[in-house]
Amino acid sequence: MLACASGAAAALAGCSGDQSTPGGTDDGAPTDGSGGGPTATEDAGGGTDGSGSGTGTTDGGGTDSGAPQLGDTVVFPDSFAMTATVSTGGQTFEMSGRFDGEDLYWEFEQGGQVIEWYLVGESSYVVTGGQCFSGSLQQGISREDVDPGTFAEGASANPAVEPVGTDTIDGEEVLVYEVSGSGAAGGETLTYYVLADSGYPRRIESESMQWDFHSWGEAEPVEAPEMDCRTMPGSTPA
């Protein structure tokens, strides 16, 4: 998942490469609900960057020291908004979006075009240059590549990991957990910054990406775009 989000960005940009109308999206398309751009440069209070060697276990085992364990602490609500900065192959992609129930929305810019990706139920839609495309994405990009639910699964698979310390982000105290080796997606060390007062994830990062979360339980619903959508070239219909 860590590198796939950028692959998804490149694939989505490619789907509109033969269009003659660059630029923004349909005026009626929903915003990402974030109220701002990516927060990759937010002050993390000197926290870890996900590349260190954590002291928590990654197999759900270990001795219980009484510290708040990851599985008992982190809570992924039914809806939230997020920004993501992903670096791979010498490129950096900045994305913003929101998650609602099982539906997902992402927005990012590529080659001067704003691209919106909706995943609603079993259907997928891409809106760019004032046009809407429906159907599965090219290059084998799947929902799992960009779904924040993967992080929830990672926490569930490593419930006994204990915090390596505390930190602050935007003045809020967070507990810092590290999941490394085979217990992390892509083999990278994942660092979870979990809000101490609510258990909501505030930030999740590794060497190649950083996701910031906000608006827990308050994100706008994700719905299919109200546009005439044609089947994406080389795709099966949604």
Per-residue model confidence as pLDDT tens digits over 129-187? 999 999 765 554 567 778 898 899 999 999 999 999 999 999 999 999 999 865 555 67
**Which residue segment(s) compose the domain that 59 sits in?**
4-231
- The total domain count for the chain is 1
Q: Residue 66: inside a domain, yes or no?
A: yes
Q: Residue 207: inside a domain, yes or no?
A: yes
Any idea what DSSP says for residue 185? Answer: G
Q: Is 81 left (phi over 0), alpha (psi -120 to 50) or beta?
A: beta
CATH code for position 211: 2.50.20
Q: Residue 52: inside a domain, yes or no?
A: yes
Nearest to 49 by CA among 87, 76, 89: 87
**Phi/psi at 145 (5° precision):** -65, -25
The reply to whether the predicted model has a pTM over 0.85 is no
Strands 190-195 and 103-110: unpaired
Percent share of the chain, pLDDT over 90? 49
Average pLDDT, the chain: 76
Q: Residue 84: inside a domain, yes or no?
A: yes
Q: Residue 136: inside a domain, yes or no?
A: yes
Nearest to 183 by CA among 60, 62, 58, 69: 58
Percent share of the chain, pLDDT over 70? 65
Q: Residue 93: inside a domain, yes or no?
A: yes
Q: Residue 236: inside a domain, yes or no?
A: no
| Structural tokens at position 64 | 């219980």
**Contact yes or no for 184/205 (Cβ under 8 A):** no
Give the whole-angstrom CA distance, residue 41 versus residue 57.
29
Q: Residue 238: inside a domain, yes or no?
A: no
